[in-house]
Structure 1
Amino acid sequence: MSSTDVRINARLTGEDALRYQQLLERSGGSASDLLRDALREYHAAHLRPKRDPLALLAGYIGAGDGPEDLSSNYKAYLTEALEDKIPLRVQDGP
């Protein structure tokens, strides 16, 4: 047995033992094959590589167009844009 080999002894009882026997019969393979397949599926479902949040957002950060001072003067820009779209109506006298 090499240093990367692992020997596993496990006791399954009740429902777990029944599930194991059903899977073993259905697969037609060995107990080791079934355990290897189950471990690979579990690994794929639970140990996905962690992603760097900054790398995920890299295509979006700083990618927009607009004035450089938008974050500090957004209210003025919004007011101006709304005034262009919705002209103010001057009411006639009382």
Structure 2
Amino acid sequence: MTAYTQQRSTHLAVHHAGLTSADLWVHYYAIGGQLELFEMDAYLHGVYELSQSERNTVAMAVNELIDELPQRPRAEFVRLPLLD
């Protein structure tokens, strides 16, 4: 999956779930994310690039927020390989 594909799927999941950038940012920050709210918003709108690690953290935050919704649009994320 490319960085663009991951960003786009995350944006669509957030949109379809009815979440705001602020909703996502609060949870993302609580699980260890390092972005500021304006960076999160810019990423979701496709005007700010993130590292793979940060993209994965954003996607995980989205997935956790939408787990309990009746419809579950899932943000796909690239699993990082484990290092020996």
TM-score, normalisation: structure 1? 0.25
Q: Determine which structure has the larger helix proportion and give its number.
A: 2
Which has the higher relative contact order, 1 or 2, with Cα contacts under 8 A spaced 6 or more apart? 2
* Rg larger for: 1
TM-score (norm 2): 0.28
